[in-house]
Structure 1
Amino acid sequence: MDEQTPPKEPLPIRRLQESLINRIAAGEIIHRPASALKELLENCLDAGATSIRVTVKDGGMKLLQIQDNGCGIRKADLPILAERFTTSKLSTFSDLSRITTYGFRGEALASMSHVAHLSVVTKTKTETCAWKAHYLDGVLVEPKPGQTADPKPCAGNDGTTIIIEDLFYNTPTRLSALRSASEEYSRILDVITKYAVHNPKVSFSCKKAGSPSPDLSTPSSSEIPQAIRLLYGHSIAKDLLHASFGPKNNTDGDEEMEEEKASDSWTAETHFTNANYQSKKMIFLLFINHRLVESSRMKRALEAVYSGVLPKGASPFIYLSLQINPPRRRRQHQIADTLQRSLASQSHSRVFEYQTLLTGGLAEPEQSTSKKRKGKERAQNEEDEEEPRPNAPKKTASQYKVRTSLQDRTLESMFPVANPSQIDGAAKGKSAAADTSKSREIKESECILTSVKRLRQNAIKGKHKQLSEILEKHTFVGIVDLNKCLSLIQHSTKLYLVNHGALAEELFYQLGLRQFGNFSRLKLQPPPSLRTLIEIAVELEETTEESGLTKPQIVDRIVETLVARRDMLAEYFSFNITPTGLVESLPLLLRDYTPNLDKLPSLLMRLGPQVDWNSEMECFESFLRELAYFYVPGPLCPSSSSNADLETEEEEKAQEKAERWQIQHIVFPSLRRYLAAPKSLLDRDVVQIASLPDLYKVFERC
């Protein structure tokens, strides 16, 4: 046997060098050029500046210069300006509870002096000249060899100019972590844009070094809506709503909140877009006590408000400014709830008003047409007949002629096809699908369970006669937006914009009820691990704090729940899970339709907390709802790399083509045959956008 290795000796603990400590501390404050600029902007605003000019070179890594016309810095304060823990804002510990400025000006400058070459030019109104000083590692240094480190007199205007050169020159690891110069410059512009909106009385400008004109420029003496219009565009400004509120809006009866009402501990002002505006990415400007901050919790709360207002995948613009009494900052978690109630009430009323004006909702049935209109239609038909005869067939006016042939063109047929064989393949596939659908009628299974019978009866009772007729006799026009799940269909002389995702979700739920206890199986080869799939979904969740459990505990609980009920899942839903925790098969709701299996981890995770396992009827209904949501044709996931190779792009195009084919040739024909459309779909998911008779009236006036 070999000799045993000697035990490892503990290493001695040493004090870090002061220069290393300062560089580590600087990294906590200065992450990139934009974060350095944020600190400097706040310094300028604290100094009472009304004009701020920013000059940038190489995205701020070579040069970041910011000039203001504020009160300036006294010459006597320049020697300690860049030292740590030097400030003009505090003198005693109690001042921390009453501070209303941005914070430690000296701390930010000290951090910059440790990771860049820092120089300052400043002049107060009482001094006859400006003073220039250079700093390195927090202390004054000579600008050139042989000169003294004392500040030098120079020409300059009232205010302060901070010059940062060669940022992170002595920390190559942090420098290499930065993005390209153009991306860093865009981050700088984003910071300046947000502060310019919040401070409309201050003039801002930003340009690249050597450029004759600025890339961003705002005037002073404007208001927040005007600043939003200038910086974010007319499309946002024209749809802005405004609200101001505070604790007085709270009506929960909480004693602590009543105390806040009396002391006016916080107020809020917000400008937010209505339901007419929608963007792919949410623009959220949050200022707390005039400081730009990020709050993922508040952002999610506001996104939840708009989730019931905007289409899927659409996002709003929100500017929110909070004024919070410093001792009350621990109460910030209640602000999100108050904001949510206020935004929801204004947004929902606005949505209803705009949808009524722009779309007119669903058309009324022909039987409800007024007598006056019927008289006009009769008169029109009589005018079109040159020689009316008692037994002659009645002539139909042009505006009431309906396209009824399913062989007519769809939206997709109007775009050029690179490979002509695709047309023949699509036509063959369509005819094959039609033949197959006739031979594969989905029959209702026999079931003696009272709960299932009641759910089936509820689906029939909730059927909206007119909407169901529209879907049963519609003509598919085309998919408008695959990511937003929007399609066009025609019924009679009217054109409808429908959310095919919402229609498909209700369809798959009813198909699940229809086949209860007699599902076909979608086999998974090889069968994946139940625990692994749930771990993937739980890991992607942003937070699990509300449950009071850790992520591993959540995974264990969901796995135990599903494995314990695997016999019931297999018997009623053909959802087979092995004793060892492998998922062998899923219920197949619709033949020839393949769900997106990328959503399988999310389905398994949601089956744990979202299904009511304690009541039979609620259990079956919630399980089938989750299964239907899994089957919905959702938006395609974008590629994670902007430089994707040709093979990946071709795969994405093929996947999108397959998705479109399934929606047109499987989902919509199944809607015609099996869906008992509920009235709830009329609220947002089926909207009339055109009527042929109304269009004729418009063109007659032109």
Structure 2
Amino acid sequence: MDKDTDSSYEPPTPLPIRRLEESLINRIAAGEIIHRPASALKELIENSLDAGATSIRVTVKDGGLKLLQIQDNGCGIRKSDLPILAERFTTSKLSTFSDLSRISTYGFRGEALASMSHVSHLSVITKTRSETCAYRAHYMDGKLVPAQSGQTTEPKPCAGNDGTTITIENLFFNTPTRLSALRNTSEEYSRILDVLTKYAIHNPKISFVCKKAGSGSPDLNTPASSTIPQAVRMLYGQSVEKELLHTTVSSGDPKTPESWTSEAYFTNANYQSKKTIFLLFINHRLVESSRIKRAMEGVYHGVLPKGASPFMYLDLQIDPRSVDVNVHPTKKEVHFLNEEDITMKICDALQEKLAEKSQSRTFEYQTLLTGGTLDLDEKKNGKKRKGKVDSEDEKEEKEEGPSRCEYPVLQKGLAFSLVLRVCLAAPKKVYSHHKVRTSLADRTLDSMFPVVNTSQVVDKKKTSSTPGTPSVQLTSRYKEIKESECFLSSVRNLRSALVKGKHKALTEILEKHTFVGIVDTNRCLSLLQYSTKLYLVNHGAFAEELFYQLGLRQFGDFSRLKLDPPPPLKKLVEIAVDAEDVSQDTELTKLQIVDRIVNILQSRRDMLAEYFSLNISSDGLVESLPLLLKDYTPNLDKLPHFLMRLGPQVNWNSEAECFDTFLRELAYFYVPGPVAGEPSLGLPTSSSSSNQNKMTKEEEEGDNAERWQIQHILFPAMRRYLMAPKSLLDVDVVQVADLPDLYKVFERC
């Protein structure tokens, strides 16, 4: 309706303006300062440094969300100051507004501890050198609170060393939205280590220790008497420290208000990293500046190859009268005068130093690719090993001449250019320990052990007593699985998420691997060879991800695995519920649980049939299942377990989560192997010794059939369709051997 033409339209009446409650104001302010555990730690470290501490110890639990404790040996806090310690705008750094122009400490507003007390349980143990004992105080919402009910709020005397120990527990307990966004405790702990690492580099004379609660050894530990290069070596590695360059730049006249000095450590042209490491301290305060970072990265544009990045540390000291530190709630940014001129002079000094130390660079190249992009050897095979007589390969390399090209780096004004000197060296020889020896005709692990006749395995699968089990064909033409056409935005988003989460190197291993053999079917372990490396993989985890992606690929257009005769849904769910004994965790009886699951599936049988080809008749018979991969038959002993899990494990209230969780359960059903504790529907249950022996033979033949499916159906399908996510690298892939490393072992013998 057009507001201009509608005569009955009335503008909304203004709402009254109300003053917010003090507790709400404080909680909003706390959210602006304490974003995550790492930002709280930064404030606490700066307080410790302001107190003159020479030793700082940090203890973390669950990424700082459960516990974040920092202990220092600074000057401590007087007992008389403890009652207002956690109130807003209480500070010892400022008395008038003009003090901001001369501020030389980290903190000055007095909001850090106040903010923490509003979003966590805060406690302080502190002792000054003049007091005979330490005092413990607890805070909530900026005020002192008793440690236990019935006690007074006064700080209690206790044992303690000189200095202060601040403990933050249950961070964001009263802000559930913020807490739910920080569930990845590993990432939060990495951020904490990153903050500590940067402060340890800038303060090499101060000891920093960081460890997880309950851990015996710290994850970060620096001594109290070291230099910046030594700290870089301990925290970033020798590869960074050995390529460090150092330069200092200043304005010239230290008496003017616009005076400044800077000290920079940065890597030369021989160091390359995938990501820029940039540490910026202005007046000893850790800050961020995208403008300065881009300018310093620009120095390397003509020096490093595309995609390579340097390490840079810059300590900038500016007259406090030229710096505005009060421009960001967390003091993450500062503004200062003549920023562009200062940045330009620093970049010019970096360029001059790089030109001085990089007159000649050496690039190594490989003339024959033998495969493998997952790992790069740190040591090239052309180097002579100490204490060894030259081998035949090394002698041939000397006769062939140099295998490296030198690129001189020339200076022209303030810009650099790389001049390529063409090398006409002979092709580099590929040595025995770098040759890939694979052939599809080679024997696998399975061929080295006696097995039953393959036809017996197939006959066994054909005569399985489980209803609806299709036969396994030994030879079949692989048919392309085309992606179904789907206009649902939820399905499209799930498909695009798979593409974005694809790990290129792991996917390349699967595409070009050579299958070696199955190590253990119960533990789902198999061996793959890729290039000169041997990998032990969890084929169960890979198969689950494959079937999930195949289900998403064929959404709405599944082939059907017909069950003849169709088993009753309720009976299958009863079998699974009895086996799982799920009634222990709920007040419902087993019969009520079964009825609820059956009702859920029956009420959605039209949707299940249309999208997933899971056909359930009106009288409760399971007529067909979705067939994800041609010639692959899932273990139908897992069918009751699969149908039971569809009730509680699938989110039926959200379209995207419904499709995602259903496909995950379907993929889990398709993973090879039996379900632990699941009754076997196709095997006899007699306990006689003859039947037990017969069951053992059937299990052996079934295991051989499963092995055949894994090798000849699953792994070829992974090679063709699986976009491996990075999560599989965590625990499901292990490199067990590398040919060059094995040669080194034999050379020592």
TM-score by length of 2: 0.47
Letter in 2 for 1:338: K
Say which SS state the counterpart of residue 306 (structure 1) adopts. Answer: coil
Q: Aligned partners of 2:143 and 2:160: how far apart in 1?
A: 23
Q: Is the 8 A contact 2:274 2:308 kept in 1?
A: yes
Listed as ranges, the matches of 1:155-304 within 5 Å are 155-248=159-252, 262=256, 265-304=259-298
Match of 1:8 among 3, 7, 12: 12
What is the rounded CA distance, in whole Å, between the counterparts of 2:425 and 2:194 in structure 1?
A: 53
State the partner residue of 2:308: 314
Task: Report the equivalent of 1:330.
Answer: 337
- The residue correspondences of 1:95-110 to structure 2 (distance < 5 A) are 95-104=99-108, 106-110=110-114
DSSP 3-state at the match of 2:200: helix
1:382-419 CA distance string (max 9 Å, x none): xxxxxxxxxxxxxxx9759x99999x9999x9657899
In 2, Cα distance between the equivalents of 1:166 and 1:111? 14
> Cα gap change, 1:139/1:262 in structure 2, threshold over 3 Å: closer, same or farther?
closer
Secondary structure of 1:65's counterpart equals strand
The one-letter code of the counterpart of 2:350 is L
- Aligned partner of 2:348 among 319, 341, 352: 341
Structure 2 unaligned blocks of 5 or more: 323-335, 366-397, 404-423, 442-666, 668-714, 725-749
How many angstroms does 1:14 deviate by?
1.0
CA distance in 1, matches of 2:720, 2:305: 28
In 1, the alpha carbon distance for the partners of 2:718 and 2:36 equals 33
| Structure 2 residue matching 1:185: 3-state secondary structure | helix
Distance 1:164 1:334 in 2: 42
Deviation at 1:336, TM superposition (A): 1.6
Helix, strand or coil for the counterpart of 1:106? Answer: coil
Give 1:127-138 correspondences, 5 Å limit: 127-138=131-142
CA distance in 1: counterparts of 2:232 and 2:75, whole angstroms = 28
> How many Å separate the matches in 2 of 1:135 and 1:29?
18
Q: Deviations over 1:644-700 (max 9, x none)?
A: x9999968999xxxxxxxxxxxxxxxxxxxxxxxxxxxxxxxxxxxxxxxxxxxxxx
Change (3 A) 1:98 1:3: closer
1:6 Cα deviation from its structure 2 partner: 5.0
Mapped to 2, the partners of 1:202 and 1:269 lie a distance apart of: 19
Give the deviation of 1:8 after TM superposition: 2.4
User: How many Å apart are 1:265 and its aligned residue?
Assistant: 1.5
User: SS of the counterpart of 1:231?
Assistant: helix
Alpha-carbon offset, residue 104 of structure 1 = 2.7
Q: 1:343 to 1:130 in 2, by over 3 A?
A: same
Please give the alpha-carbon distance, in whole angstroms, between the structure 1 residues aligned to 2:297 and 2:426. 43
Amino acid at match of 2:296: L
Shift of 1:260: 7.5
Deviation at 1:279?
Answer: 0.7
Distance 1:16 1:417, change over 3 A: farther
1:356-401 per-position Cα deviation (integer Å, ceiling 9, x unaligned) = 9x99xxxxxxxxxxxxxxxxxxxxxxxxxxxxxxxxxxxxx9759x
Once residues 58 and 399 of structure 2 are traced to their aligned partners in structure 1, the CA distance between those partners, rounded to angstroms, is 64
1:580 matched residue in structure 2: none
Q: Find 1:26's aligned residue among 30, 36, 39.
A: 30
The one-character-per-residue Cα deviations of 1:551-595 (angstroms, maximum 9, x if unpaired) are xxxxxxxxxxxxxxxxxxxxxxxxxxxxxxxxxxxxxxxxxxxxx
Structure with higher helix content:
1
State the shift of 1:262 in Å: 4.5
* 1:121 and 2:125 matched: yes
Instruction: Flag the 1:21–1:405 CA change in 2: closer, same or farther, 3 A.
Output: closer
Deviation at 1:311, TM superposition (A): 1.1
Partner of 2:150: 146
Structure 2: how far apart are the matches of 1:177 and 1:649? 36
- The one-letter amino acid paired with 2:304 is L
Q: Distance in 1 between matches of 2:137 and 2:298?
A: 51
Amino acid at match of 1:321: D
Does the 8 A contact of 1:55 with 1:208 survive in 2?
A: yes
Task: Name the count of aligned residue pairs.
Answer: 382
CA 1:209–1:398: 2 relative to 1, 3 Å: closer
Q: CA deviation at 1:326?
A: 1.7
Which residue matches 1:85? 89
Q: Which amino acid aligns with 2:289?
A: S
Q: Is the 8 A contact 1:29 1:111 kept in 2?
A: yes
Question: Is the CA contact (8 Å cut-off) linking 1:309 and 1:348 kept in structure 2?
Answer: no
Measure the CA separation in 1 of the matches of 2:337 and 2:258. Answer: 15
1:36 aligns with 2:40: yes
What is the 5 A alignment of 1:481-630? none
Q: One-letter code of the match for 1:190?
A: D
Q: CA deviation at 1:334?
A: 2.4
Q: Percent identity?
A: 66
The 3 A distance-change label for structure 1 pair 267 and 418 is farther
Aligned-residue offset at 1:18: 0.9
Distance 1:127 1:298, change over 3 A: same
Q: How big is each residue's C-alpha offset from its partner over 1:511-543, in whole Å with a ceiling of 9 and x where there is no partner?
A: xxxxxxxxxxxxxxxxxxxxxxxxxxxxxxxxx
Residues 398 and 180 of structure 1, relative CA distance in 2, 3 Å threshold: closer
Letter in 2 for 1:32: R
Deviation at 1:332, TM superposition (A): 2.5
- SS of the aligned residue for 2:263 comes to strand
Q: What is the RMSD of the two structures over their aligned residues, measured on CA atoms? A: 3.7
Counterpart in the other structure of 2:380 = none
Whether the 8 Å CA contact 2:400–2:426 is kept in 1: the answer is no
Distance 1:261 1:347, change over 3 A: farther
Secondary structure at the aligned position of 1:146 is classed as: coil
Q: 1:414 to 1:344 in 2, by over 3 A?
A: same
Once the two structures are TM-superposed, the CA of residue 232 in structure 1 deviates from its matched residue by: 0.9
2 CA distance for matches of 1:207 and 1:177? 23
Cα distance, 1:92 vs structure 2: 1.7
What SS does the aligned partner of 2:358 have?
A: helix
Q: 1:91: how far off?
A: 1.3
1:146 positional shift: 0.8
Q: Which amino acid in 1 is paired with 2:342?
A: I
Residues 244 and 269 in structure 1, CA contact (< 8 A), matched pair in contact too: yes
Contact 1:246-1:264 within 8 A present in 2 as well: no
SS of equivalent to 2:53: coil
* Contiguous gaps of at least 5 residues in structure 1: 249-258, 360-396, 421-644, 655-702
Counterpart of 1:340, as a letter, is C
- Are the equivalent residues in 2 in contact too, given 1:121–1:133 (CA < 8 A)? yes
In 1, the alpha carbon distance for the partners of 2:64 and 2:204 equals 24
When normalised by structure 1's length, the TM-score is: 0.50
Q: Deviations over 1:406-441 (max 9, x none)?
A: 9x9999x96578999xxxxxxxxxxxxxxxxxxxxx
Q: Is the 8 A contact 2:38 2:188 kept in 1?
A: yes
Alpha carbons 2:200, 2:206 under 8 Å: kept: yes
- SS of the aligned residue for 2:360 comes to helix
Structure 1 residue 355: deviation in Å?
4.0
- Could you tell me how far apart the structure 2 residues matched to 1:138 and 1:14 are? 23
| Cα distance in structure 2, aligned partners of 1:300 and 1:127 | 50
Whole-angstrom CA distance in 2 between matches of 1:335 and 1:142: 52
Distance apart, 1:3 and its partner CA: 9.8
Query: Separation in 2 of the partners of 1:96 and 1:405?
Result: 67
Q: CA deviation at 1:55?
A: 0.3
**Contact 2:258–2:337 (CA under 8 A) maintained in structure 1:** no
* Cα distance in 2 for residues equivalent to 1:8 and 1:113: 40
